Each structure stands twice: as structure tokens, then as C-alpha cells.
Structure 1
């Protein structure tokens, strides 16, 4: 499953005339296979073993590129490092306030929020994101 997502993404990059370097492939693959919404630093640390000449800047530049293309969502939380999320499907995030774990959640029908907001405000809405904060099951069990 994850492998076909990687191939799909690579084909889209090729179609956009973007060169597929081994580093670029590895970053994309890591993002797709990671379910932890990694930071650029985490991606760098896990790939530098395979690519000793790769710099943090390389990781950042590729993440910016993927974000611009729309493959990747940057989840910026002010002071904390941005986390990056490969997303082929619109989804939302449940975030644990205790340990910081982020879990993807899908809720069909929320696209209507954009249309409703346009109607109510006259804004032309480009996109939306929703984050839900609470305590994950692991942290709940430690508390009881």
C-alpha cells in the first residue's frame, strides 16, 4: 500500500518535470511510511546514515517543494518545529496535550465548512485545517 503511494507521488513529480534524486525519493518514502508526522530534523536524522552527504537544508528544501506541490502539509505550531504530513486525502489531526502524539482522523462532510464560511463572510476560502486537542488512550491509562 505505502509502496504504491510512493510510486504515485514519484510519477506526479516526474510529470511536473522534477528530477528524482535518491535523497528526494528517500525523503518522500520516509514521509509516506511514517505515521508520526515527523519534523525535518527527525527525517534528517533517520536518513543521514544512508546519505552521509545530505544536509538538513536538503531536507527542508525538499519539504518546501513537496508542500508547494501539495503532497505534504506543513503543520506549524508557532515555537515548536513544524511537522510534516504526507496527505493524499483531506484529513484532520487529534493531538495529545500530554505526550504530543498526533493521530490522523477522517471526517467526511467537513468540506461544507468552506462553502458555509464563504456564504457567511464573503471570503474566498482556499483551505482549512482542524486540530482537536485531548489526551490519548496511552496517557489516559497512565493517569488512572
Structure 2
């Protein structure tokens, strides 16, 4: 699917994009709203949500959606992969190193579909949740809910 050109770049949209591109934390709309409010104190949460959708639809940013999780946004629109913590939901970028090769889309088939794009998301535990697991000896609550 080809990205649509964005509606005009309003001041609010430009600032939302600038703030998102400064981050590598893949924030939720609520988290980004708190950051954007420092530059635009009168911005509404609805405005941030709407502009993130417009930027996502235009291909300026990525919207990361996973069943049962809040949407997160990535200011890097280039194809890359992610890991999501089963404990706290934190998302990070995955770097492919060494001789790791990923399968090509043409190697996948599904009746009734023409596959045009794919994303790969790994799951695991971030260092903070792993440390908590090591200390407490139990999976974080969110991780046990994710695995059910």
C-alpha cells in the first residue's frame, strides 16, 4: 500500500512529529501528549490522537498495534523490527546482526490474501522486568496475562 501524502503540515502536526522523532521509546499517544504539552500547553489529547493517525496514514510515522496492547508510535518510518516486553509493554527496536536473514514476503502464502507488507515483532522481557523476575521469582503480572 502506497503512503498518502499528508494533509497540510500544521504547526501542531509539525511539533508532534518533531517530538516523536526525538524519541526511541515508542510512546503511546498519552505519553507523547504529555511531552507535546510542554511546547503546546493548550493542545488537546484528541488533537494528538488525530494527528498521529494522519501521520501514520501518510507514512511519516509507524503505528505499532498489538492485540491487547495500547498503540505505540515510532518516528522512524523505515522498515525495521521491534521487541515488546511481556512485563511492562515497553517496545524497542531490534537490530539484525551477523548472518541473520529474514524470509522474503514471496515465501508466504495465505488463501484469499495478497501479502504486500509484513512486520516482525519479538516478545521478551526488558532488563528491568527480568531483574524483577530474578528478585521476586515470579513473572510480572502483565507477562502472565499476555501468555494466556
TM beyond 0.5: yes
**1:128 counterpart residue number:** 118
Aligned positions of 1:77-92 closer than 5 A: 77-92=66-81
Q: How many residues align?
A: 128
Distance 1:17 1:95, change over 3 A: closer
1 or 2, which has the higher helix percentage? 1
TM-score, L = length of structure 2? 0.72
Q: Deviations over 1:4-63 (max 9, x none)?
A: xxxxxxxxx9xx474322211111011111111111111111112321221111111111
Are 1:138 and 2:128 counterparts? Answer: yes
Partner Cα distance (1:80, 1:70) in 2: 21
Q: Which runs of 5+ in 1 are unaligned?
A: 1-12
Aligned positions of 1:92-107 closer than 5 A: 92-107=81-96
TM-score, L = length of structure 1? 0.74
Q: Please, which of 75, 89, 108 is the counterpart of residue 117 of structure 1?
A: 108
Q: Which has the higher contact order (CA 8 A, sep 6+)?
A: 2
Deviation at 1:131, TM superposition (A): 1.4
Aligned positions of 1:17-28 closer than 5 A: 18-28=7-17
Q: Which runs of 5+ in 2 are unaligned?
A: 136-148
Deviation at 1:68, TM superposition (A): 0.8
Partner Cα distance (1:110, 1:71) in 2: 24
Deviation at 1:92, TM superposition (A): 1.1
Deviation at 1:71, TM superposition (A): 2.1
SS in 1 for 2:88: coil
Deviation at 1:132, TM superposition (A): 1.0
Are 1:56 and 2:60 counterparts? Answer: no
CA contact (8 A) 1:96 1:102 kept: yes
